């Protein structure tokens, strides 16, 4: 499998879009893109970037951005016609312009938490460059019940094993991955290791995020929390929304 590619061709190792120096928190929807299901040949519509202001979304401590106006696209999905699962960025492009006039819904169907779990149980069959993305996706999707139900339930055995696997994949020399690792360690209640990583220098624009993580670590709080609500005065730093 190739690495996930965003609309401008840049890649992110964990499946997220790579960042640059420009402030593009106001994202613009790209042209409709259709790929072809390799099982049944049906079109699969993919939206790589939606319009909306990402800074007004709710940023959770696991890195999940909750924003209906600018949803985060997935690189994995299922065909809406036959249900075949695949890597959306690897499917062949449909060159025929006729499919652009289609009115039926051919958008990719997102994977469920159980389907991500099944993929994690068969990692040996999946390219290593996708392991980090799969673990983060399962982690965030598993946290939805805590996000939506307000349940501070402990990690399941499988969730715990997934976070331990993710912890070993994250590169401490990469600033973004180091922050993700801090949160992984915090949720694993490995607070002292998390504090040691968080003490490393960071970009000035990330300081508000780091300060909030410090508060959680000092309180020995391992629960999933909202870091920024997106409300006026509590928007996430522009640096994080690029």
Segment 16-36, tens digit of pLDDT = 433 333 444 444 445 678 899
Q: Is the pLDDT of residue 97 over 60?
A: no
Q: Does 79 reside within a domain?
A: yes
Q: Is the pLDDT of residue 144 over 70?
A: yes
Q: Does 65 reside within a domain?
A: yes
Q: Does 4 reside within a domain?
A: yes
Q: Does 24 reside within a domain?
A: yes
Q: Does 123 reside within a domain?
A: no
Residue 21's φ and ψ, nearest 5 degrees, are -80, -15
Range of lowest pLDDT (27-31, 60-64, 125-129, 189-193): 27-31
Buried b (16+ CB within 10 A) or exposed e, 170-184: beeeeebbbbbbbbb
Q: Does 104 reside within a domain?
A: yes
Q: What is the pLDDT of residues 65-86, one digit of tens each?
A: 887 666 677 888 999 999 998 8
Amino acid 2: pLDDT: 34
Q: How many domains does the chain have?
A: 1
Q: Does 40 reside within a domain?
A: yes
Rounded distance between C-alpha atoms, residue 88 and residue 91, angstroms = 6
Q: Is the pLDDT of residue 196 over 60?
A: yes
| Contact by Cβ (8 Å): 33, 27 | no
| Contact by Cβ (8 Å): 156, 141 | no
Higher pLDDT, 156 or 102: 156
Q: Is the pLDDT of residue 6 over 90?
A: no
Q: Is the pLDDT of residue 218 over 60?
A: yes
Of 188, 172, 192, the closest CA to residue 180 belongs to 172
Rounded to two decimals, what is the model's pTM?
0.79
Q: Does 136 reside within a domain?
A: no
For 127-155, what is the mean pLDDT? Answer: 89
| Contact by Cβ (8 Å): 61, 225 | yes
Q: Is the pLDDT of residue 88 over 50?
A: yes
Q: Is the pLDDT of residue 163 over 70?
A: yes
Interstrand relation of 33-36 and 52-53 (parallel, antiparallel or unpaired): unpaired
Amino acid 103: pLDDT: 67
HEC-encoded secondary structure of 127-144? CHHHHHHHHHHHHHHHCH
For 112-121, what is the mean pLDDT? Answer: 94
Give me the residue label for tokens 């940023």. Answer: 59
| Contact by Cβ (8 Å): 70, 39 | no
Of 220, 209, 154, the closest CA to residue 180 belongs to 209
Q: The domain containing residue 13 runs over which residues?
A: 1-110
Amino acid 28: pLDDT: 44
- Mapped onto helix, strand or coil, the DSSP state of residue 23 is coil
pLDDT band at 90 (very low <50, low <70, confident <90, very high): confident
pLDDT band at 136 (very low <50, low <70, confident <90, very high): very high
Percent over 90 (pLDDT), the chain: 47
Q: What is the CA radius of gyration of the chain?
A: 18
Sign of the Cα torsion 139, 14, 39, 120 reads negative
Percent over 70 (pLDDT), the chain: 75
């Amino acid at each position: 499998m190739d690495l996930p590619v965003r609309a401008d061709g840049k890649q992110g190792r964990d499946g997220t879009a790579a960042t640059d120096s420009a402030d593009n928190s106001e994202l613009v929807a790209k042209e409709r893109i259709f790929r072809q299901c390799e099982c049944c040949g049906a079109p699969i519509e993919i939206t790589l970037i939606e319009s909306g202001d990402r800074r007004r979304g709710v940023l959770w401590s696991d890195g999940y951005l909750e924003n209906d106006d600018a949803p985060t696209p997935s690189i994995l999905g299922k065909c809406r016609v036959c249900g075949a699962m695949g890597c959306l960025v690897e499917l062949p492009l449909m060159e025929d312009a006729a499919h652009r006039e289609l009115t039926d819904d051919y958008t990719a169907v997102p994977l469920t938490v159980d389907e991500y779990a099944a993929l994690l149980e068969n990692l040996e069959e999946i390219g290593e460059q996708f392991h980090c993305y799969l673990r983060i996706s399962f982690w965030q999707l598993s946290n939805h019940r805590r996000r939506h139900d307000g349940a501070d339930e402990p990690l399941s055995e499988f969730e715990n094993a997934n976070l331990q696997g993710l912890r070993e994949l994250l590169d401490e020399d990469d600033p973004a991955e180091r922050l993700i690792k801090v949160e992984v360690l915090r949720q694993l209640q490995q607070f002292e290791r998390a504090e040691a990583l968080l003490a490393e220098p960071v970009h000035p624009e990330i300081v508000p995020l780091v300060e909030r993580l410090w508060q959680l670590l000092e309180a020995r709080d391992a629960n999933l929390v909202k870091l920024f609500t997106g409300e006026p005065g509590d928007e996430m730093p522009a640096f994080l929304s690029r």
